[in-house]
A and B are shown apart, each in its own frame.
Chain A
Amino acid sequence: MKERRNRKLKVSTVLVHLALLVLVFINIFPLYWMLTFSLKTNDEILGYSYKDPVTGVRTQVAPNHVGLPNQWEWGNYAEAMNTGNMGQYFLNSLVVSVSAIAITMVASFMATYALTRLVWKGRKAMNKFFMLGLTIPIHASIVPVYIILSRMSLLNTYSALIFPYAAFSLSMGILISTGFMGDIPYDLDEAAFLDGCGVWGIFLRIIAPLMMPAIATVGIYTFLQCWNELLFATIFVSSGKYRTLPVGVQQLFGQYTTRWGPIGAALSIATIPTLIVYVFLSKRIQDSFIAGAVKG
Chain B
Amino acid sequence: MKRTFTYRLHIFLFLLPALILFLGILIAPIAMSAWYSVHDFNSISSTSMDFVGFDNYITLFSREMTNPETGKIFANDKFMGDALVNSLILAALSVFIQLPLSLIIALKLSKGIRGERAYLSIFFMPVLISTVIIGRLWMNIYDPGKAGILNAALRATGADQWLFPWITSRITSSKLAFTGQWTGFRETALGAAFVPILWQYVGYHMLLMYAGIKGVPAELLEAAELDGCTEGQVNRHIIIPYIKPILKVSVIFAVTGSLKSFDLIYALMKDTTKAELPSTLMYKLLFLHNRYGLGSAIAVVLIVLCFAFALLITLAFRDKGEKVS
**Interface residues, chain A, with chain B CB atoms under 8 Å away:** 13, 16-17, 20, 23-24, 26-28, 30, 33-34, 37, 45-47, 63, 65-66, 103, 106-108, 110-111, 113-115, 118-120, 126, 130, 132-145, 147-148, 163-164, 166-168, 170-171, 174, 193, 198-200, 203, 224, 227-231, 245-246, 249-250, 253, 260, 263, 267, 270-271, 274-275, 278, 282-283, 285-286, 289-291, 293-294, 296
Contacts and interface: CB of A to CB of B under 8 A. Distances in A.
Nearest to B263: A230
A250 B270 CA distance: 12
A126 B11 CA distance: 12
Given A63-B146, A137-B302, A230-B263, A27 B125 contact: yes
A268 B3 CA distance: 57
Given A138-B260, A143-B295, A143-B296, A167 B22 contact: yes
**Residue among A13, A20, A168 with the highest chain B CB neighbour number at 10 A:** A20
B119 A253 contact: no
Interface of B: 1, 3, 7-8, 10-11, 14-19, 21-22, 24-26, 28-30, 32-33, 36, 44, 105, 108-109, 113-115, 117, 119-133, 136-138, 140-141, 145-147, 149, 152-153, 199, 203, 207-208, 210-212, 214-215, 246, 249, 252, 256, 259-260, 262-263, 266-267, 279, 282-283, 286, 292, 295-296, 298-300, 302-303, 306-307, 309-310
A106 to B, nearest CB: 6
A109 to B, nearest CB: 9
Contacts of A168: 25-26
28 contacts: A13-B113, A17-B115, A20-B108, A23-B105, A33-B141, A47-B146, A63-B152, A103-B21, A106-B17, A111-B18, A120-B11, A135-B309, A136-B303, A140-B299, A143-B36, A144-B36, A148-B29, A163-B21, A230-B132, A246-B130, A249-B132, A250-B132, A263-B140, A282-B124, A285-B124, A286-B121, A286-B207, A294-B211
A275 B1 contact: no
Contacts of A115: 15
B149 A17 contact: no
A30 B140 CA distance: 10
A16 B108 contact: yes
Contact of A118 (B11, B36, B246, B252): B11
A108 to B, nearest CB: 6
- Main DSSP-derived SS at the B contact region: helix
Contact of A132 (B11, B32, B307): B307
Contacts of B125: 27, 275, 278
Contacts of A110: 14-18
Given A136-B30, A228-B131, A270-B133, A143 B286 contact: yes
Which 4 A-B residue pairings sit nearest by Cβ, starting from the closest?
A144-B29, A140-B299, A141-B29, A167-B25
Contact of A46 (B131, B145, B298): B145
A86 to B, nearest CB: 12
Contact of A114 (B11, B29, B105, B249): B11
A175 B174 CA distance: 47
Contacts of A270: 130, 133
The interface centre, meaning the residue of A106, A130, A290, A291 with most chain B CB atoms within 10 A of its CB, is: A290
Given A24-B119, A143-B292, 10 more contacts: A65-B153, A120-B3, A133-B22, A135-B306, A141-B299, A143-B32, A143-B33, A144-B36, A147-B32, A200-B10
